[in-house]
Structure formats: structure tokens, C-alpha cells
A and B are shown apart, each in its own frame.
Chain A
Amino acid sequence: MLEIKNLVVQIEDNRILNGLNLTVADGEVAAIMGPNGSGKSTLSYVIAGKEDYEVLDGEILLDGQNVLEMAADERAAAGVFLAFQYPLEIPGVGTMTFLKACLNAQRKARGEDELTTPDFMRRVYAAADTLEINREMLKRALNVGFSGGEKKRMEILQMALLEPKFCVLDETDSGLDIDALRIVSEGVNALRAQGRSFLVITHYQRLLNHIVPDTVHVMSKGQIVKTGGKELALELEASGYAEYRTGEAA
């Protein structure tokens, strides 16, 4: 599904990723854990196509296609989805308007017909009900005045509607209380399927109790330094990141 080869990335002369290699198989849920500043969020932005980063070397292949040559919107249409750590508030853009525009833009890019309004509404409401999102929220401007938990649920709602192939969840557990964590995790688990893979970025093992990963990778200084099964997360929780921090600047 996704293959990252020797990825080297910098921003304003700061090298963040140093020859990162990672493979996520079809249907796999891979977790990335690591200390602050190890490059986890950078990796998620580079996969999604944020332009601030300079890719010096390497490839990111989605089903064999190098996504580094595509703009962010083309990657989205190809099936990449990033659930943001801090979803942005967009005053003046209605949530429903936004959802419909995204869905139809992606369908158009894939040569599919636009959804009819009733069909669109049905899909949104079904996903919203599953995620316990109040329909009143859908009438408001995107993310404006939403709580941290509401914003994260809105991210998962978008993921459910857009049906991506490869989902990156960037610290989706941050800012969530126990109930919200359960709702969000159930939302993600419901989307687990053949033909769809996940990269779950987190600091804490807690999230991985809810979204049980197939593999766990430890990231440090812009590289994957250790790979294991779900038990690796428990080890890290017990021992901390001390052994991976050596020589790190921040």
C-alpha cells in the first residue's frame, strides 16, 4: 500500500527526516511512536503534501505511484487522508458546504459523478450519527467554536465520508477525554478494512488500547529505529523514550 524509501526532508535548513524507511501493507494499522521533536508530525505533513517542507531525497509510493510529485489535492483524490493534530477553524465556510465541496472535488478528480444532495445528506447524517455529532454542529462554520473533541470527531467524519485508502492520524488522541477517545477510536475501527491502511501517530500507548495496531514503529531523529508488534507500545509505556533520545537536540 504505502512504501517510504530513504526520505530526507528539511525545513529552513533544519534536517527533520534523515533517510526514513517505512512500509505499510494493505489493510495494516501501523503505529508510530516517538519522543517530541522526532519528526512524527513532519512525516504526516510530507505524506499529505504540505509545501513548507523541502524533500531532498527519497520516495513515497502509494500503490507504486510516487505521491511526492502530486499537489496536496491530487494526493487526497488518490486516497491520502490526514487527520490533523490541530484541525483549523474556517470562519464563514459552512461545514456542510465544505464537506460537499471536498467530496465532489475528489469524485470529479476520479472521474466520478457528483453526489445528489439527498444522497450526500444521507451519507453525512449516517456518519455523524455514528460519531455522535450533533446535527446542529453541521450547520455551523467549519470547526468554529468546536471543542477539541468535536474537532477530532469532525476529522473522523471527513475520513468516513471521503473513504480514503491511506489514513494518517496525527496525534488524534491529544485533547480528548475518555468518552471522546472511545467514540473517535470506534469511528476509526469501523473504517478498518481491506484496501485501507492507517498510520497512527501518537505519544501514548493509551490510544493503541482502542485502536489496536498490527505493527508499532519507534521514530527518533527522523528515522524509524525500532519495529515490533503491539507489545512494543507497552514496553515503551513502561520504559519511556530515554534510550531513543540520546544525542537529540530538543
Chain B
Amino acid sequence: MADVTNLRSPAEAGLSKLFESARKSFATEEAISREEAFRFFEATGLPSRRVEAFKYTDLRAAITEAAPPAEAPAEDAAKAAVAGATSFAKIEAVRLTFVNGHLVAALSDLDRLPEGVTVAPLNAALAQGDARLKRLAPVEQARENPVYQLNTAFLADGALISVAEGARPAMPVHLRFVGAGATAFSTATRVLVELGAGAEFTLLESHEGPDGVAYQPNDALDVRIGEGADFRHARLNAEGRAAVALSTLSVRLDAEARLETVNLVTGAVLSRHQIYLHVAGENANAVVNGAALLGAGQLADSTLLADHAAVGGVGREMFKTVIDGDATGVFQGKIIVRQVAQQTDGKMKSDCLLLTDDGQMMNKPELEIFADDVACGHGATCGAPDDDLLFYLMARGLPRAVAESLLVQAFVGEAVEAVSHEGARAELIGRIEAWLAARG
């Protein structure tokens, strides 16, 4: 076999250079292996359409330049950036504010954490080799993912959140990510969350940044849900319109654990949200929903891997994509049911509403089942708003645009209604209404 050498793209060469200069600032004894991650990444490079998992989202083509990692902002600059941040802003929550990927203590509520919740800045945890970092190693498949490897290699900051056994903090924690700047920059953050047995915890996560700046956030959230614990997560991608936003959520569920995660995407020119689930304990329950509202030029990719490795797991995955202009939606969903995972009940579906003839939707659902006593299914649909429904609404006096908006809202709303936190749900529904209103 002939040796094939891929030519490195300018962005890949740039990333290597950036890694070389960044390594000077890394602590010597870290709990994560950046070097290894970057070598892995370098071997494959930015994934292109030749790589099956990135067939519809060609990062090699999308990322033409390696944006330099953003520096930690001065306090005044951070305050100015956050002043305009609106996501989940009205919700009473313990806020952890990240500006350009760096935790800003002055804009965070580290001193008023609810009982049973501890937060350690990731920088400190890394330098001290915090043992929890090992326990929270992400889902195996995530480690081989180039987006996650890049995150590991360039990881700049984040947080380590622990929720004590049986703790039920009344207030959610809000991870507020705000980007600011006039030229391209990149960020790499990771937040680790550990829920002790029987704990109940709500995490809100929002991402916003300047329009017109091609910044490149790469955010990871690694969660371990202990036995019988209940983790609720609402995520909003309201990134600036030129951002290339990559994110990875990996979740391990122990026995009887419950997961609810809902992601709403309205921002970024290109976004890819990767979800890795590892159902490690018996009778765990996962609700994984996503909704994307896309306009001209946007691409949003939701990639899901649900790996059932224990008896009696229940998975409900629902993705809704609304496509306007020439936008592209991508859904790749795979359910694996290991031989031990008998009585797994998994249902996954992806529905797309095309508002124009120019948009496109790529659906790739997969099932890999090795157990014989399971109920698993997947479905994918794609279509224009139903003419009969439109006529019914118009015949009652609703103008076409209003009728169409009502149908779109109902369509996307189904995915967002799963959010248990009332305020977060209302905010996400409000975002949908605002998107429809802006569409006119």
C-alpha cells in the first residue's frame, strides 16, 4: 500500500504552531494529557467530508484559519462584554461567567453557592492534579473525537462542579459564556459536573458573542450522574452569526440516574453539538432533545451517540430543525445497545421543517443492537409546513405569516417543552418567538 500523506491545511499548520507556543504556559504535572490529545489530532487533522462522522460538516473547509486562543480579559473589558448578555439573564441562578473562555470570578457567584454545591476553577484543579478529574473521564468514544481532542489540547479554563449526595439546590447554576472581541479568536473550555447519589441539579448554559467576528469556541461539558440522581440541562446557542461553534457533551449515567438535556440553536454560521451518552447503570433514563432555527448561510449539526451498556435503560431523543433560506441541518444519531443491555427502550427521531426550497437537511439515524430483548426505533421526517393546517388557520382569520409562525412554534416547541425549569423553558420559547418575529 502506498503511503498517503495529506497535505496540511493552513489552519492545521497554524494549530500546530499555536500549540507549540501555548505549551510553555501549561503546568508540568497536569491531570489531562494535552500532548497525547494533540498528537492524535495532528495525525488526522481537521476532519473533512472524507471522514464519515464529519461527512456533512466539513471542518477542514469551514475552518480556514487557526484563530489564536483568547487571553483572559481585563475585569473592565469582561464587565463591558457581559453587560449586553441577555441569555437566561432574568432567571434567578448562581452564575459562573466565562468571558472569552476564562472564568471571571468578579462576575461569578462563587461566594454564594447553594448548600451541597462546590465549584473549583478548572485551572486550579488541573494544576493540583485534582483526583476528580480522573473519575470524570469522559465517555470513551468522545476521547477519539477530533473536536474533543482539540478541546483537551488547548483547554484554557473551566470549572469543576460537585453536587453532594442527596443535595437538591433550589437554584440552578448558570454557565454564562460570553465572547467579545473585534478579531478572530478561539476558546477552549471544559466544565465537569459530578452529581452524588440521589442529587437533583439544574444547569443552564448559554453562549453568545459578537456578530461579524469569526471566533471559534470549543466547549466541553462532562457529566457524571450518580445513582438515582437527576440532572437537568438547558442549553442555548445564541452565538454571533460568524462564529464556528463546536461543543461536546458527554454524560455517564449510573443506575436509576435521570438525564434531561435540551439544546436550542439559533446562532453561529456553523455549529456542531456532539452528545455522547454512556448508560452505565441499570434502569437509567435519558431525555435528549435538540431544536435548531436556521437562516441563510447557517449550518447546525447535532451528533448523538447513545451507548446502552446496562439493563433497562430508557432513551428518548427528539430533534427538531427549522430551515429557512439556504441553511443546512444535520442530524446524526446512533443508538448502541450492548449485549448486556437487555430491556433497553430507545426511541430517536429527527424532524425537519423546510420553509424554503433552498434549504437542506441531512438525517443519518443508526441503530446497532446486540441484545435480543429490546425496543428500539428511529424515525426521520422532512417536509414543508402542511398546507391543510395552514388553510385551517387562515380560514379562522390568521394571515399566512402568522399561521406559519404558529405552526413552526408548535413544531419546535415540542422539543423545548421537555425543559423542566419553568423560567428556562419560557426563555427558550421566547427565543423561538423572537426568531420568528425577526423572520417577518
Contacts and interface: CB of A to CB of B under 8 A. Distances in A.
User: Do A and B make up one complex?
Assistant: yes
Interface of A: 48-52, 71-73, 75-77, 81-82, 84, 87-88, 90-93, 98, 101-103, 105-106, 109, 141, 158, 162
A92 B410 contact: yes
A52 B386 CA distance: 13
A158 B393 CA distance: 12
List 4 tightest A-B contacts by C-beta distance, closest first. A92-B410, A76-B397, A72-B394, A106-B397
Contact of B391 (A72, A81, A109): A72
A106 to B, nearest CB: 4
Contact of A71 (B387, B394, B396): B394
Contacts of B387: 51-52
Interface in B385-429: 387-389, 391-400, 402-403, 406-407, 409-411, 413-414
B419 to A, nearest CB: 14
Interface in B280-320: none
Contacts of A51: 387, 391
A88 B397 contact: no
Contacts of B391: 48-51, 72
Contacts of B406: 93, 98, 101
- Chain B interface residue count: which class? 20 to 34
Contacts of A90: 389, 392-393, 407, 410
A106 B395 CA distance: 11
A49 B414 CA distance: 30
15 contacts: A49-B394, A49-B395, A71-B399, A73-B399, A90-B393, A90-B410, A91-B410, A92-B409, A92-B410, A92-B411, A93-B406, A93-B407, A93-B409, A98-B396, A101-B406
Contact of A162 (B389, B397, B402): B397
A109 B396 CA distance: 12
Contact of A101 (B392, B398, B414): B398
Contacts of A106: 396-397
Nearest to B403: A73
A105 B414 contact: no
A101 B394 contact: no
A103 B403 CA distance: 13
A87 B389 CA distance: 10
A119 to B, nearest CB: 18
A76 B395 contact: yes
A100 to B, nearest CB: 11
Interface string B262-274: 0000000000000
B398 A93 contact: no
Residue from B396, B407, B410, B411 whose CB has the most chain A CB atoms within 10 Å: B396
